[in-house]
Amino acid sequence: MGRSPCCEKDHTNKGAWTKEEDERLINYIKLHGEGCWRSLPKAAGLLRCGKSCRLRWINYLRPDLKRGNFTEEEDEIIINLHSLLGNKWSLIAARLPGRTDNEIKNYWNTHIKRKLYSRGIDPQTHRPLNSLITTCTSNKRGNNSSSNNTQITTAANDNMGFQINMQTTKKKQEVADLLVMSDINNNENEDSNSSSGVTTEEIYPELNLELSIGLPAQHGTISSSCIKVYDKCLKQNGKTGVCLCCCLGFQKSEACSCKSMVMAPRITTAPENNLC
């Protein structure tokens, strides 16, 4: 019946590789070649699972890897290939000798996305950001209970750009994400005169939250935090288009520079300090 497990996970190391482990892996592959990742760790005297060995070799130890910064030419190749292939990093890597899928993926997330945003291009769709007036649909519960929907719409803002220097930690980002939801919840609760301490989930077990928000298109400095929050929202809601200021509820509606673009009820009852 089937095959035996690839490794005994109780007896394997995790985390960063040591020099000694690297040397063992390199020496073994020099002698025996790549492949047979399942049996490799034991044969090479490594307390690692085969998967980990494969990853270490492919992403770091392979002799044909090109080290150093990506060139402008490589940037453009990646952008073009991504527009054709999407997040098929292995396919993109196959067309860039000496680069790994992991490396390209990291580079995309940390550099190229920002570059595209600053050009006013959405990195997912490769279309101009200011043409996007879209719908974010939070439908985690998978049920469209139309009477309980909240719909909020803003348009793209050409003036604000992405010059939001969000001094947020990862935890703050999570809080910020929750803020979005809780602000919506607050609006819902205000509407229904609900008292505090009761979650929206309790009030609306089948709640579907639908947002329609636009992204600014002006060139500017974008922190990776902004991009992460944007991506997270994008992922959770399935579609494109978030004004972060509004999304995070970081400003009062009357103080927000994109107020003229707000077309529908705002997301938030904002905190006192205006970070916009």
Partner DNA sequence: AATGGTCTCAACCGCGAGAAC
Partner DNA sequence: CGTTCTCGCGGTTGAGACCAT
Sign of CA dihedral 92, 93, 99, 103: positive
Nearest CA to 217 out of 239, 198, 243 is that of 243
- With CB under 7 A as the contact rule, the residue among 169, 192, 260, 274 that binds DNA is 169
C-alpha span between 249 and 265 (Å, rounded): 13
Count the residues in the chain.
276
Q: What backbone phi and psi angles, to 5 degrees, belong to 81?
A: -65, -40
Q: For DNA, which is the closer residue by CB, 38 or 266?
A: 38
CB of 150 to DNA, least distance (A): 24
CB of 58 to DNA, least distance (A): 7
Site string for DNA, 232-261 (x = CB under 7 A): ---x--------------------------
The answer to whether residue 107 forms part of the interface with DNA (CB under 7 A) is yes
Q: Select the span of 105-113, 127-135, 209-217, 241-249 touching DNA (CB under 7 A).
A: 105-113
Q: The tokens 């978030």 sit on which residue? A: 242
- With CB under 7 A as the contact rule, the residue among 109, 125, 131, 253 that binds DNA is 109
- With CB under 7 A as the contact rule, the residue among 71, 110, 151, 192 that binds DNA is 110
Nearest CA to 276 out of 254, 132, 227 is that of 254
Q: For DNA, which is the closer residue by CB, 85 or 198?
A: 85
Nearest CA to 267 out of 139, 167, 138 is that of 138
Are 166 and 223 in contact, with CB atoms under 8 Å apart?
yes
Q: The tokens 């998978």 sit on which residue? A: 142
CB of 103 to DNA, least distance (A): 6
150 Rama class: left (phi>0) / alpha (psi -120 to 50) / beta: beta
CB of 232 to DNA, least distance (A): 8
Site string for DNA, 9-38 (x = CB under 7 A): ----xxxxx-----------------xxxx
Residues at the interface with DNA (CB under 7 A) = 1-6, 13-17, 35-38, 50-52, 54-56, 59-60, 87-91, 101-103, 105-107, 109-111, 166-169, 172, 223-225, 235
